[in-house]
Structure 1
Amino acid sequence: MSTVPTEVSPADAVIIPHYNDLPRLERCLHALRENDLGDTEIVVVDNNSPVSLDGIRRAFPEIRFLVEPQKGAAHARNRGVAETTAPRLFFIDADCVPAPDWLTVGRQIADQADLIGGRVDVFDETPSPRSGAEAFEAVFAFNFRRYIEVQGCSGAGNLLTRRDVFDKIGGFINGVSEDREWTMRAVARGYSLVYRDEFCVSHPSRQDWSALKAKWRRTTQEGYQLNGTDAPARLRWALRALAMPASAVVHTPKVISSNKLTSGGEVLRAVSTLFRLRCQRMVWMLRQASGGNI
């Protein structure tokens, strides 16, 4: 009696949300090709970009492309989980570059915790000298170790978890800092979250003040939602706002002593950007605390 073979589910799923950034998505996918892709399904979930993905689809026939019409990385990530079957879930952003051993390392450490976040190195896409934004990001951007070990949360640009954990916790929530909120929700439910330095991706630095300001405006908006909006929460937010300039003073030695900056000019531009950004955040946060918008 003959039997019909059953399809075996892959062990790993890589989920990549994307919107309107084809050059960086292509770079991400080329880097993934350098990994060991055996027993792995890769899904790019596009948020209905205004540009055609036909060319990149043809260049990467081994990768599945989906369209999620609801805007937001949260919706895209949730769709990616729903459309895959693997028990292990690797999350990475389209503008990130995974290390050649990213998947291999992830498989080796997967049993160490329920959620694992890794290192995110910063690189410049423009030639030297660095702008103030690039110098600032070289020192401060993507400190996943601090996020995880001090704040108890992680970004989803480099995150590994299991499908059963995701199913129990539920999906990402759009409109807040969805990766921070999701990992905090998991930790609150008793799931373990650890940092592993060897689990590594890279991310480009913001090139100028406009890009850096846009990033932190979004982060401030999302942080306010997580903080809460009742009167006591707004008071706490106002006090945090007033501490912003002082925090720039506290963090200036970190800039001066950083081995990631290569000249006195970079140090000066990074310090200037640090103070400019913290003062800008103070203004935004005070507006929020008073019930206004930023």
Structure 2
Amino acid sequence: MTRGVSVIIPTYEAWPILYRTLCTVAHDCRELGEPWELIIVDNESGAEFRASVVAFANAHPEVRFIGRSGLGGKHFQPGAARNIGIDSSRYESLIFLDADCIPSADLIGAYRRWTDKQPDTVFVGHRVFVDTTDIDAAHVAEQRSVLAGLAPVGSASNYGSDIERRLPELLSLEAHPRAYDCMYACNMAVHRDCIGDLRFSSAFDGKWGYEDIELGYRLHLAGRSFRYLPEAFVFHQEGGSLSADEREAGRYDNFVIAGELIEGFVEYRRGIARLRSVPSRDLPCISE
């Protein structure tokens, strides 16, 4: 496999948010001084969105756009999109970001260095929640301090809190009893040798949540380690394509699926202090 970086981003609508992320990723990858590519895999967005992404890709030779179709209205399939990105990628360092996650200035470089040093390790970072409304994409790409100066906001993706709810666990990840439970694919990186033939499960397609943690569980079973890189954080933008109600409804269904696929998952989640570690609705009996 060729040395270099492949950044994989699944998408569905919300072009202004994605545009800030794309501009920043492209800027930071150009600073690497080695081969790179940015792979955008879209889950059947509308024509206007796709035209915008295609125009961006046409203006940047290292950017590739892959448009999916025939999804039957199930547009929230980040795991399936990431799988396509993995299988289409050219380089050995795989960086996964969500469309609404702008990388910190050190993220791309840090993930590249560490996946090279420790190819059997899964690397994760945290999120800083900001409101990027009216923030210019080119300005953000050149000056990440524009975002660093913003006040944090309570995020729907973090159950209303303005502080990453996993942070206490991330800070002690090396001693964590289930480190894979902190693996969020919105901000993570692996060497291709680390992930091997493992992929995100299709069982979670169509609804929000847990496809990344379930993959993390299988990586754990395969003997992989997990490491937190504090410099590899993202600025999470508010206002994506998924509402809080849609997120919560999908979360319930996928939590049940995760409980069937991950040994001891439900019991563990019921016993930890992390904010909203289980869905708000009563869960059915799940074999643990």
Q: Tell me if TM exceeds 0.5.
A: yes
* Kept in 2: contact 1:102–1:199 (CA 8 A): yes
Deviation at 1:15, TM superposition (A): 0.6
* Kept in 1: contact 2:130–2:153 (CA 8 A): no
Residue identity matched to 2:218: R
State the partner residue of 1:224: 256
State the partner residue of 1:80: 85
The alignment partner of 1:36 has SS state of helix
- TM normalised by structure 2 equals 0.70
* Kept in 1: contact 2:126–2:164 (CA 8 A): no
State the partner residue of 2:41: 45
Larger relative helix fraction: 1
Deviation at 1:35, TM superposition (A): 0.4
Deviation at 1:59, TM superposition (A): 3.0
Give the gaps of 5 or more residues in structure 2.
Answer: 134-149, 205-209
The CA distance in 2 between the partners of 1:11 and 1:172, in whole Å, is 23
Q: Per-residue CA shift, 1:219-249, capped at 9, x if unaligned?
A: 33222211129xxx89959x94xx8xxx8xx
The CA distance in 1 between the partners of 2:152 and 2:103, in whole Å, is 25
The alignment partner of 1:137 has SS state of coil
Matches within 5 A, 1:1-294: 9=2, 11-37=4-30, 38-52=34-48, 53-60=50-57, 61-62=59-60, 63-69=63-69, 70=71, 71=75, 72-110=77-115, 111-112=117-118, 113-125=120-132, 136-141=160-165, 143=167, 145=170, 150=176, 151-153=178-180, 154-168=183-197, 170-176=198-204, 177-205=210-238, 211-228=243-260, 240=270, 281-282=279-280, 284-286=281-283, 288-289=284-285
The alignment partner of 1:198 has SS state of coil
Residue identity matched to 1:167: G
State the partner residue of 1:269: none
The CA distance in 2 between the partners of 1:22 and 1:161, in whole Å, is 27
Give the gaps of 5 or more residues in structure 1.
Answer: 1-7, 252-273
The CA distance in 2 between the partners of 1:171 and 1:108, in whole Å, is 23
The CA distance in 1 between the partners of 2:106 and 2:18, in whole Å, is 19
The CA distance in 1 between the partners of 2:40 and 2:153, in whole Å, is 32
The CA distance in 2 between the partners of 1:114 and 1:26, in whole Å, is 30
Deviation at 1:103, TM superposition (A): 1.3
Residue identity matched to 2:170: R
Residue identity matched to 1:66: I
* Kept in 1: contact 2:111–2:189 (CA 8 A): yes
- RMSD across aligned positions (CA): 3.7
Q: Per-residue CA shift, 1:67-95, capped at 9, x if unaligned?
A: 13355111111111111121111111111
Moved more, 32-41 or 126-135: 126-135
The CA distance in 2 between the partners of 1:24 and 1:51, in whole Å, is 17
Residue identity matched to 1:218: G
Residue identity matched to 1:217: A
* Kept in 1: contact 2:130–2:152 (CA 8 A): no
- Relative distance call for 1:202 and 1:175 in structure 2 (3 A) is farther
The CA distance in 2 between the partners of 1:121 and 1:184, in whole Å, is 25
Residue identity matched to 1:34: H
Residue identity matched to 2:254: E
* Kept in 2: contact 1:93–1:157 (CA 8 A): yes
The CA distance in 1 between the partners of 2:17 and 2:195, in whole Å, is 27
Aligned residues: 244
The CA distance in 1 between the partners of 2:230 and 2:17, in whole Å, is 23
Residue identity matched to 2:26: R
Moved more, 88-97 or 135-144: 135-144
Deviation at 1:152, TM superposition (A): 1.7
Residue identity matched to 2:18: L
Higher relative contact order (CA 8 A, sep 6+): 2
Greater CA radius of gyration, 1 or 2? 1
The CA distance in 1 between the partners of 2:152 and 2:11, in whole Å, is 30
Residue identity matched to 2:186: G
